[in-house]
Structure 1
Amino acid sequence: MLFVLKRLLFGLALLVGVVVLNFLLIRLAPGDAAAVIAGEMGGASEEILARIRSEYGLDKPILVQLGIYLADVLRGDLGQSYYFNQPVTALIAARIGPTILLVLTAQLFAIGLGVFMGVLAARRPQGWLSATVAVLSTVGYAAPVFWTGIMLTILFASMLPLFPVEGMVSARFDGNAFDYALDVAHHLVLPALTLGIIFLAQYARLSRAAMIEVLGADYVRTARAKGVRERSVVFKHALRNAVLPILTVAGLQFGNLISGALLVETVFNWPGMGRLAFESILRRDYPLLLGVLFFSALMVIVANLLTDLSYRLADPRIDQEGRRA
């Protein structure tokens, strides 16, 4: 319980630091949000620009703006979107579900298949399967995520038209809840595959290296000498210890998954927070961009907390300070 409380306090302090840093960096960036807002209305005079700055609090000193924003955040108010003229929380609430679905699907795909490939490759480190995994993982890691998305689009939408390449649901969908889930899953394949491939490569290489090291340990040789079946040796004895560094990397890579989702959602027009962030950047919609960054940081912090808890469950020898007893 003390461990969880300490992690929660650390996560809260980190979240406050991220909010302050994001606010200062965005407000200090070149450009005038009032001019962008006026541009959406077809242009305006200096008098109208001054009125816009006063209405949105852009005429106040930046530290005063920061204090007002922090007070609003503590009340659960992330402000009003300049462009959409709606509460930021409402806009994010409508987009956060698709992003979580995409990120978690890509993460599960990458970890599951990556660990499986790494385990198979580690059983025969000098075999053809191990070499194939090494080559494929290197290619997957080196390929930019947007390039992978374009290649998958060409392959599975143009040459082999198997999957849709835009949106989350068919435009004229009309069916029950089960059909809706199938339609979403059909649209999810290419975005999740695109986002997961680069991380699949990392998990495959990491699990291969970890399994090779663990399979050479004394307790593994002892288990084999006792006549334990090879499958039990690999999956029950070795994999449980080899999975620890994978859990660590999974938590650290969650932030990269969310940032990668920005490009993937743009390529496939997936209606998530990444797409919303892209739109807010184009329109200098400060409250909306800050809200997206806030929830992105919150998801990363929660993911790291869950990773710490998973690490302790996987290895009970870890004490309250995160060290092995």
Structure 2
Amino acid sequence: MTSYFLKRVFYMALTLFGASILIFFLYALTPGDFVDTSPKLTAERKLELKAMYGLDKPVVERYFIWMKNALQGDFGYSLQYQQPVMSLLNDYIWNSFLLAITSTFFTWLIAISIGVLSAARQHSWFDALVTIGVFAAMSLPVFFVGLLFIKMFAVDAKLFPAGGMMTIGSKETGLAYAWDVVQHMFLPVTVLTLLSVGTLTRYFRTNMLEVIQQDFVRTARAKGLKEKVVLHKHALRNALLPAITLLGFELPALFGGAIITEKIFNWPGVGQLYMQAFSVRDYPLLMGFTMFLAILTVIGNLSADLLYRVADPRVRLK
């Protein structure tokens, strides 16, 4: 187990090194940057700023400087916000993480529950409704669903706030503050869950249909076990194994996919920072956020491999 973990950490380091090269040169070789595109700066001031931030150096030298600083936890300085990139990400990333982890929890809970029932009742009216709902959810664009929910639940019904993370001017603390945040996050979490649950439900349904046709499931039924025990203790445990692979990509995908959702609901997350930084070509911030997604991806893959052992004790990590 220890040797496997150390080997995977070594591969993770190599993967992140390759990702850092792609990320840096993708942005560094793109024509123009924050200084070049600023209309209020004179040519002399642009040259001063480029020298100050090291933008006048050769691109290869800039990469090694950026990589050296990144290994020390310094991903550069945001030219737009005039703050260190890590400080900005630390201020906003937890708001995005709150949306991502909450929607991931509800997505998996709903997808597993509906997928198992749909597979157990194949070709029933419930299975047909699930299939229609899954394809409908997969075909709807996020901006349409987000604006529709704001119109229905915030503007017309006035059940939930239309945007933001908390009520403007609110000085609530403790449970009152937590309840205010929960009310504001209800609509964005619902949108993210609705748009993510379709694909995962279909995946669980397919896995369950394959598993319940295998010999060990028929043997469990022949022993007289209850159908609920057969489905949840025997079939679901085996159907989870292929789905665990998807778990490694869930959080990075949600952080990336939540960018539009955060913009629609004016949620103060890292998606807002990314969109604004992209519009003004604040490359240090863009590189820092993209590198953060790469780190999340490799950590997610490692977590998925370790979860294989938890879901099925027969799996040996070598």
Normalising TM by the smaller chain, what interval?
over 0.9
Q: More displaced, 49-58 or 151-160?
A: 151-160
- Normalising by structure 2, we get a TM-score of 0.95
Q: Does 1:181 align with 2:178?
A: yes
* Equivalent residues of 1:263, 1:274 under 8 A apart: yes
Q: Which amino acid aligns with 1:307?
A: A
* Equivalent residues of 1:145, 1:260 under 8 A apart: no
Root-mean-square deviation (Å): 1.5
Deviation at 1:288, TM superposition (A): 1.2
- The 1:6–1:145 alpha-carbon spacing in structure 2 relative to 1, beyond 3 Å, is farther
Length, aligned pairs only: 317
Matches within 5 A, 1:132-211: 132-211=129-208
* Equivalent residues of 1:265, 1:272 under 8 A apart: yes
Q: More displaced, 238-247 or 293-302?
A: 293-302
Q: Which amino acid aligns with 1:221?
A: R
Deviation at 1:261, TM superposition (A): 1.0
Q: Which amino acid aligns with 1:13?
A: L
Aligned to 2:93: 96
Identity of aligned residues (%): 37
Separation in 1, partners of 2:162, 2:14: 40
Structure 2: stretches of 5+ with no match in the other structure:
none
Deviation at 1:302, TM superposition (A): 1.6
Aligned to 2:299: 302
* Equivalent residues of 1:214, 1:242 under 8 A apart: yes
Separation in 2, partners of 1:32, 1:230: 62
Separation in 2, partners of 1:308, 1:17: 21
Aligned to 1:30: 31
Deviation at 1:125, TM superposition (A): 0.4
Structure 1: stretches of 5+ with no match in the other structure:
none
Separation in 2, partners of 1:201, 1:52: 49
Deviation at 1:184, TM superposition (A): 1.2
Q: String of CA shifts for 1:149-197, please: whole Å, max 9, x gaps.
A: 1222222112322111211111122223111111111111111111122
Aligned to 1:11: 12
Separation in 1, partners of 2:27, 2:287: 8
Separation in 1, partners of 2:144, 2:242: 29
Match among 69, 72, 75 for residue 75 of structure 1: 72
* Equivalent residues of 1:15, 1:297 under 8 A apart: yes
* Equivalent residues of 2:192, 2:258 under 8 A apart: yes
Matches within 5 A, 1:110-129: 110-129=107-126
* Equivalent residues of 2:101, 2:251 under 8 A apart: no
Matches within 5 A, 1:256-295: 256-295=253-292
Separation in 2, partners of 1:291, 1:14: 16
SS in 2 for 1:34: coil
Q: Which amino acid aligns with 1:254?
A: L
